[in-house]
């Protein structure tokens, strides 16, 4: 509604009319006042209704559209960063502009039709710091031509035109983990997400696809504008047709949908317990009963089913198959992550290679190979520089000991050496301790295991979270308290003896002093006796859950689960860092200090670096294949940074 000097238009009209009719002798004065009053009331009501309509429209628009940015990706590879090779973790493949594009945890690899690598774009270096997944080629409305759209884990959607990338990044971080992507003939792009169901991107707007799916964990998308299939992690499968969304969970043997394939009016939904065939939205039968159907691809009268550990099985579609079907010929050595029928050729995607089916001998042959890599896995849990070697512990693949040239590794994996929590060097005694979820393993100077310790040997628990060496012994942290090991044997300390909390995540030692970071605060011990306990209730500690500890000069820096890093000075006072803005999670034992710098690896914000000379923190994600920095170590002039998606090294001077 228009206004003049703060007055609304109805008010101005009433005022002028009132002045005209209020002249002396006017017999219409009373009637005019009444009319003007009604006019003013009607105008005010109309203005308020207009305001309410505008506010409601804005609110509806806010609910139906999500804020996002389109960012050109133009990153130069930093010369100070070296990625240490591991299996690329291939995820999907597709044809694009006469090339074969393969997405991977490590990035995007582009091959020619003969299998020659043309370009590689690495996560965290040429691309944003996130693993890549599902791909779909198509043209978004208003675009000049087709693009390859690539889902990422944490960095939204990438669009690749064969030469350049752009990033479609939602403002809401909960929408940035894209699990699958599907281009439609209408020029829309569908994004399946981990927390926000299915989103629609049309080149100008980002909107929700359907309110019933707004909180669903979507695993896979298939189909077209007329018939769309949506698989979820725990809510089964949905079919969208003619504007109606139908839930078909009851037709599945398991509500977890791992894969979808569509051919004409027939759709196949793969679950951990087999495949269900649908015809025009109605369940027909169960195929590959009992198989973990991770990937699906129909070809003629055969449905190829990629499994977790039983290779690829061929299911005949002309008749009902038996309950168990043998694998086809020589299957792939990898777990099958994706199957694709590209121009009549059947391809299978494994972690480290892509295979093509040769129908004459009924064999899967390797056509794209990532080559040899020294590292066993990409999910790094612990790092240490010990004896001139880099020690790498994995979340669930044991331990690699890599030579100084980073070319050859010796792998250790057993029932004990499986899930590694922490690796600590003891240069004085030429040994290295590896703390695992199943015990403590001590290695000699030749990187050979010599002793295993657990509950049978006197520790409070087989699960060891951290270890600190000290004169003639060591302190072992467990979820049940502390165990002290020396020549006199093993003795334990827990809440009964004054420890602030039994669940110890991190431990540090300096002389006779021991500092223990727990789930419930910090305990400081002298000569194995608790001298002080610090919590949020009795000190300046900002969070009770302590995940990491490192000594910096005469102070202790403590990483927390949610309050970043805080420090304990020599007088026993806790302090925050003014330049650490916003709370963040420091990953368990992902802190170290060297050469005047301290390092802290975070759950989702990359690496934090503290310069003692300037007493300032900086934050970086440069060169990181993931923002989830799970381990930090220094040695030989380098900082080694482990993430849940690979390992890199950076010259220490580059981070100052």
Does residue 138 carry a pLDDT above 90?
yes
Which region among 78-87, 176-185, 328-337, 454-463 has the lowest average model confidence (pLDDT)? 328-337
The string of pLDDT tens digits covering residues 423-461 is 999 999 999 999 999 999 999 999 999 999 999 999 999
pLDDT score, position 54: 46
Q: Do domains 68-77+84-250+260-268+333-369 and 427-655 have the same CATH topology?
A: yes
At residue 344 the predicted structure's pLDDT band, cuts being 50, 70 and 90, is confident
Does residue 4 carry a pLDDT above 50?
no
Question: Domain 427-655 carries which CATH code?
Answer: 2.130.10.10
pLDDT score, position 445: 95
The count of C-alpha atoms lying within 13 angstroms of the C-alpha of 415, restricted to the half-sphere facing its C-beta, is: 3
pLDDT score, position 48: 59
pLDDT score, position 63: 57
- Residue 291 to residues 194, 232, 254, 255, Cα–Cα distance (Å): 25, 18, 12, 15
**What's the CA gap between 616 and 578, in Å, rounded?**
9
Does residue 42 carry a pLDDT above 60?
no
The terminus-to-terminus CA distance of the chain in angstroms comes to 58
Average pLDDT, the chain: 89
- Asked if 647 and 86 count as a contact pair (C-beta separation under 8 A), the reply is yes
Percent of the chain at pLDDT exceeding 90 = 77
Q: What is the CA radius of gyration of the chain?
A: 31
Average pLDDT over residues 342-356: 91
Helices (H), 196-272: none
pLDDT score, position 320: 54
68-77+84-250+260-268+333-369: CATH class: mainly beta
CB within 8 A of 347, min separation 6: which ones? 93, 339, 340, 341, 354, 355, 356, 357, 367
Which region among 8-17, 297-306, 545-554, 580-589 has the lowest average model confidence (pLDDT)? 8-17
Strand, helix or coil for residue 394: strand
**What's the CA gap between 51 and 558, in Å, rounded?**
53
At residue 325 the predicted structure's pLDDT band, cuts being 50, 70 and 90, is low
Q: Which two tokens stand for residue 269?
A: 């939904």
Average pLDDT over residues 319-328: 52
- Neighbouring CB atoms inside 10 A of 246's CB total 10
CB within 8 A of 9, min separation 6: which ones? 1, 2, 3, 43
pLDDT score, position 195: 92
**What's the CA gap between 456 and 440, in Å, rounded?**
12
Strand, helix or coil for residue 161: coil
Counting beta carbons within 10 angstroms of the beta carbon of residue 104, is it exposed (0 to 12), middle (13 to 18) or buried (19 or more)?
buried
Domain boundaries of the chain, sorted by first residue:
3-64, 68-77+84-250+260-268+333-369, 427-655
Residue in the block written with tokens 């650490």: 580
Counting beta carbons within 10 angstroms of the beta carbon of residue 322, is it exposed (0 to 12), middle (13 to 18) or buried (19 or more)?
exposed
Is the model more confident about 552 or about 78? 552
- Neighbouring CB atoms inside 10 A of 294's CB total 20
Read off the pTM.
0.86
What φ, ψ does residue 87 adopt, rounded to 5°?
-55, 135
What φ, ψ does residue 209 adopt, rounded to 5°?
-80, -50
- Asked if 372 and 355 count as a contact pair (C-beta separation under 8 A), the reply is no
CB within 8 A of 14, min separation 6: which ones? 36, 39, 40, 43
Residue in the block written with tokens 């504007």: 243
Cα torsion 301, 305, 306, 309: sign: negative
Does residue 556 carry a pLDDT above 70?
yes
- Asked if 424 and 418 count as a contact pair (C-beta separation under 8 A), the reply is no
């Amino acid at each position: 509604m228009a206004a003049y000097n703060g007055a609304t238009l109805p008010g101005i009209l009433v005022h002028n009319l009132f002045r005209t009719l209020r002249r002396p002798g006017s017999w219409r004065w009373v009637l005019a006042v009444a009319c003007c009053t009604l006019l003013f009331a009607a105008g005010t009501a109309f203005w308020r209704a207009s305001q309410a309509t505008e506010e409601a429209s804005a609110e509806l628009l806010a609910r139906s559209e999500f804020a996002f940015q389109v960012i050109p990706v133009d990153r130069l590879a930093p010369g100070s960063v070296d990625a240490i090779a591991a299996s690329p973790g291939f995820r999907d493949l597709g044809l694009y502009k006469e090339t074969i594009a393969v997405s991977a945890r490590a990035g995007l690899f582009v091959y020619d039709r003969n299998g020659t690598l043309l370009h590689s774009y690495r996560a965290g270096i040429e691309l944003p710091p996130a693993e890549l997944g599902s791909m779909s080629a198509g043209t978004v409305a208003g675009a000049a031509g087709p693009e390859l759209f690539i889902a990422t884990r944490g960095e939204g959607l990438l669009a690749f035109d064969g030469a350049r990338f752009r990033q479609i990044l939602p403002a809401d971080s909960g929408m940035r983990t894209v699990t699958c992507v599907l281009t439609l003939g209408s020029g829309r792009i569908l994004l399946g997400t981990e927390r926000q169901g299915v989103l629609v991107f049309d080149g100008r707007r980002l909107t929700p696809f359907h309110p019933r799916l707004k909180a669903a964990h979507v695993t896979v998308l298939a189909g077209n504008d007329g018939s769309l299939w949506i698989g979820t992690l725990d809510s089964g499968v949905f079919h969208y047709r003619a504007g109606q969304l139908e839930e078909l969970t009851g037709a599945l043997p398991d509500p977890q949908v791992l894969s979808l394939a569509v051919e004409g009016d027939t759709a196949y939904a793969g679950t951990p317990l087999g495949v269900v065939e649908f015809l025009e939205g109605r369940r027909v039968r169960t195929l590959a009963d009992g198989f973990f159907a991770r990937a699906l691809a129909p070809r003629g009268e055969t449905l190829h089913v990629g499994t977790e550990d039983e290779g690829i099985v061929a299911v005949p579609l002309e008749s009902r198959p038996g309950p168990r079907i043998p694998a086809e010929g020589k299957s792939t050595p990898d777990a099958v992550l994706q199957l694709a029928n590209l121009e009549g050729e059947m391809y299978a995607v494994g972690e480290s290679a892509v295979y093509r089916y040769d129908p004459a001998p009924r064999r899967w042959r390797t056509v794209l190979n990532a080559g040899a890599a020294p590292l066993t896995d990409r999910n790094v849990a612990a790092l240490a520089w010990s004896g001139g070697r880099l020690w790498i512990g994995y979340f669930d693949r044991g331990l690699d000991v890599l030579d100084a040239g980073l070319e050859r590794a010796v792998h250790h994996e057993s029932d004990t050496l499986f899930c590694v929590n922490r690796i600590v060097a003891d240069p004085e005694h030429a040994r290295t301790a590896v703390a695992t979820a199943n015990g403590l393993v001590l290695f000699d100077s030749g990187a050979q295991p010599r002793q295993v310790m657990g509950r049978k040997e006197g520790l409070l628990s087989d699960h060891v979270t951290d270890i600190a060496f000290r004169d003639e012994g060591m302190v072992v942290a467990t979820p049940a308290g502390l165990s002290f090991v020396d020549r006199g044997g093993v003795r334990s300390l827990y809440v009964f003896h004054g420890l602030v909390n039994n669940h110890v995540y991190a431990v540090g030692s300096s002389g006779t002093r021991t500092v223990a970071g727990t789930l419930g605060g910090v305990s400081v011990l002298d000569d194995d006796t608790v001298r002080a306990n610090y919590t949020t209730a009795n000190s300046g500690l900002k969070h009770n859950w302590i995940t990491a500890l490192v000594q910096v000069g005469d102070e202790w820096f403590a990483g927390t689960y949610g309050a970043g890093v805080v420090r304990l000075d020599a007088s026993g006072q806790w302090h925050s860092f003014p330049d650490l803005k916003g709370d963040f999670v420091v990953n368990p034992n992902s802190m170290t200090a060297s050469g005047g710098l301290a390092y802290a690896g975070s759950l989702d914000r990359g690496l934090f670096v503290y310069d003692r000379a300037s007493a300032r923190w900086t934050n970086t994600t440069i060169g990181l294949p993931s923002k989830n920095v799970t381990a930090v170590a220094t040695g030989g002039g380098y900082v080694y940074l482990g993430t849940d998606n690979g390992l890199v090294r950076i010259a220490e001077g580059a981070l100052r």
